[in-house]
């Protein structure tokens, strides 16, 4: 008999969780230890490496998982704090029974390193009492990344056409032309008992409770009610409300046509599904989302990739494959997907103004303030602020923006975040032409799809401009002084003037980009 440890890594859910299901089915398992490890390399030794908002969301995810586990096992989630390899060394020594480990595969460099370290740790076990160690692939992605990149005919995908070809070869098509993506796994009907020796305290490795985490994080009082609440329960509810019960919305979905400034009647409700934070933390299975979209598609005509929801998931898969197959994915040097551009020296004032939403460009500032408050931003907003920071107006290195997004986005993801910054800064083979810039002062015809008639999104996130007429609100510095006075907002005093001349800076930056390419 043995104790099975289910290590929740990027799969903070009960549904479609092969590690949990396998541990529950294992006849040799006397008990199951549900474990989550707060790794200081990821969250910081003082839990300060990611933003308080992102940490709040993670705590809510863990709290929800804890509650669901208690309902099935009469015991909650054990949360350890420290280096995973060191923690598993102590778990092995402390357990009354041999340890079996079930977890999910992680593709980012740190996650791979941790996996290899733990596999080495368990492989040193006395062969007379083997302890199984399984890291299940295709849990956070639709495909098995290692299988994909090791295929004899593998070529790195650089377009939607390449991604479709990869998917078709990997899954094949059924008689109706749908990919043969497997169905999600069910939630276990019961979980074996929690190992009694791990119920006692103190344990020989650092542990931390959810209330203790809350006391250590200086959560600021939010100006607005927290919009995204973490956890599998909320994720599945949102999936039902935004996807499963709205087949017409799913079948007609075209990502480039969605509104970047959220729904007009609610500046906090995305015009898209808003499911990305739940996919990132693993509260929602990407396979579950894929199959729910497929159910809608089987009922009626539907849009196709890249604009469809399936198209967005194909992009996600493509970027995961690239992140695993391209060396130095998050770097400039040695990265085959990154052109070397001379971005010059860091300008702390420009970067700070951009991050704080104080550039004097209301569309950019509203997006960045939304990010600070909610941890989320529409993809077109991300396009605009990324372009603005890099090749558009501020000429700052894409890695600076990448790091801000990494800390603040609820859907922050190493593979995807680096992919998007490579793409939007214009340095990747899959980037749009570098000279195609987003206008940071959009009008009603802009591809950014900003609501301009009432400008309610801008007024919500930039209350200094709440009384400004929409005619001037995207470039308030151009408003006559009489309008500024009547709107209770003097530009340069109550709201900043633009930190750059957007047209002149764009001309200069495009020239710099062209010179770097020719060098």
Model pTM score: 0.96
Cβ 8 vs Cβ 35: under 8 Å: yes
Residue 221 has pLDDT above 70, yes or no: no
Place 220 in a pLDDT band, splitting at 50, 70 and 90: low
Place 266 in a pLDDT band, splitting at 50, 70 and 90: confident
- How much is the average pLDDT of 360-376? 96
Residue 376 has pLDDT above 90, yes or no: yes
Cβ 57 vs Cβ 51: under 8 Å: no
Residue 129 has pLDDT above 60, yes or no: no
Residue 218 has pLDDT above 80, yes or no: no
How do residues 148-177 score in pLDDT, each as one tens digit? 999 999 999 999 999 999 999 999 999 999
Give the count of alpha carbons within 13 A of 29, CB side only.
Answer: 23
> For helices 232-239 and 286-297, what crossing angle results, to 10°?
10
Among residues 317, 184, 210, 311, the alpha carbon closest in space to that of 254 is found at 311
Residue 126 has pLDDT above 80, yes or no: no
* φ and ψ at residue 136, rounded to 5 degrees: -80, 130
How do residues 9-21 score in pLDDT, each as one tens digit? 999 999 999 999 9
1-137+207-217 folds as Rossmann fold (3.40.50)
Neighbours of 185 (CB within 10 A): 18
Class (C level, CATH) for 348-518: mainly alpha
Class (C level, CATH) for 143-180+232-325: mainly alpha
- How much is the average pLDDT of 347-369? 98
d(CA 495, CA 493): 6
How do residues 315-347 score in pLDDT, each as one tens digit? 999 999 999 999 999 999 999 999 999 998 999
> For helices 309-325 and 286-297, what crossing angle results, to 10°?
150
d(CA 109, CA 419): 15
Residue extents of the structural domains in the chain = 1-137+207-217, 143-180+232-325, 348-518
Q: How confident is the model at residue 222, as a pLDDT?
A: 66
Q: How confident is the model at residue 28, as a pLDDT?
A: 86
Residue 130 has pLDDT above 70, yes or no: no
Can you tell me whether residue 161 is helix, strand or coil?
helix
Residue 264 has pLDDT above 80, yes or no: no
Cβ 415 vs Cβ 329: under 8 Å: yes
d(CA 143, CA 171): 9
Residue 206 has pLDDT above 50, yes or no: yes
Are domains 1-137+207-217 and 348-518 of this chain identical in fold? no
Residue 473 CA: distances (Å) to CA of 268, 365, 371, 441, 458: 19, 12, 20, 9, 8
> For helices 348-356 and 398-408, what crossing angle results, to 10°?
40
Enclosing H/E stretch for 149 = helix 145-149
């Amino acid at each position: 008999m043995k104790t099975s440890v289910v290590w929740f890594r990027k799969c903070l859910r009960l549904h479609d969780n092969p590690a949990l299901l396998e541990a529950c089915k294992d006849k040799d398992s006397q008990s199951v230890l549900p474990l989550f490890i707060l790794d200081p390399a990821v969250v910081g030794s003082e839990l300060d490496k990611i933003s308080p908002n992102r940490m709040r969301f993670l705590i809510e995810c863990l709290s929800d998982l804890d509650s669901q586990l208690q309902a099935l096992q009469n015991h909650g989630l054990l949360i350890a704090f420290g280096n995973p390899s060191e923690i598993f060394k102590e778990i092995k020594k402390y357990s009354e029974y041999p340890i079996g480990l079930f977890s999910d595969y992680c593709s980012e460099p740190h996650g791979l390193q941790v996996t290899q370290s733990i596999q080495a740790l368990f492989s040193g076990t006395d062969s007379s009492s083997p302890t199984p160690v399984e890291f299940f692939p295709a849990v956070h992605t639709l495909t098995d990344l290692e299988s994909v990149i090791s295929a004899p005919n593998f070529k790195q995908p650089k377009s939607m056409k390449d991604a479709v070809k990869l998917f078709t070869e990997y899954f094949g098509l059924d008689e109706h032309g749908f990919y043969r993506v497997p169905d999600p796994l069910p939630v276990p009907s019961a979980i074996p008992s929690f190992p009694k020796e791990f119920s006692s305290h103190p344990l020989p490795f650092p542990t931390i409770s959810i209330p203790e985490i809350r006391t250590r994080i200086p959560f600021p009082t939010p100006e607005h009610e927290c919009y995204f609440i973490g956890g599998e329960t909320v994720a599945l509810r949102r999936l039902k409300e935004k996807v499963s019960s709205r087949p017409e919305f799913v079948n007609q979905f075209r990502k480039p046509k969605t509104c970047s400034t959220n729904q007009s009647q609610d500046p906090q409700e995305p015009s898209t599904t808003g499911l990305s934070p739940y996919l990132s933390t693993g509260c929602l299975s990407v396979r579950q989302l894929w199959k729910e979209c497929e159910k809608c598609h089987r009922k009626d005509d539907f849009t196709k990739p890249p604009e469809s929801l399936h198209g967005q998931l194909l992009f996600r898969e493509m970027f995961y494959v690239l992140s695993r197959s391209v060396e130095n994915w998050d770097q400039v040097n040695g990265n085959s997907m990154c052109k070397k551009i001379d971005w010059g020296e860091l300008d702390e004032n420009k970067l700070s103004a951009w991050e704080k939403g104080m550039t004097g460009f209301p569309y950019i500032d509203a997006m960045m303030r939304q990010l600070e408050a909610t941890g989320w931003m529409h993809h077109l907003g991300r396009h605009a602020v990324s372009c603005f920071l890099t090749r558009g107006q501020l000429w700052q290195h894409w890695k600076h923006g990448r790091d801000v997004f990494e800390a603040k986005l609820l859907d922050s993801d190493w593979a995807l975040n680096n992919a998007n910054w490579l793409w939007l800064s214009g340095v990747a083979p899959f980037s749009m032409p570098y000279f195609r810039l987003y206008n940071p002062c959009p009008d009603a015809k802009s591809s950014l799809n900003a609501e301009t008639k009432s400008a309610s999104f801008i007024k919500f996130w930039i209350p200094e401009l709440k009384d400004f007429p929409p005619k001037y609100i995207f470039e308030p510095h151009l408003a006559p002084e009489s309008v500024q006075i009547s709107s209770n907002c003097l530009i340069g005093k109550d709201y900043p003037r633009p930190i750059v001349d957007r047209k002149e800076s764009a001309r200069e930056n495009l020239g710099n980009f062209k010179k770097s390419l020719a060098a």
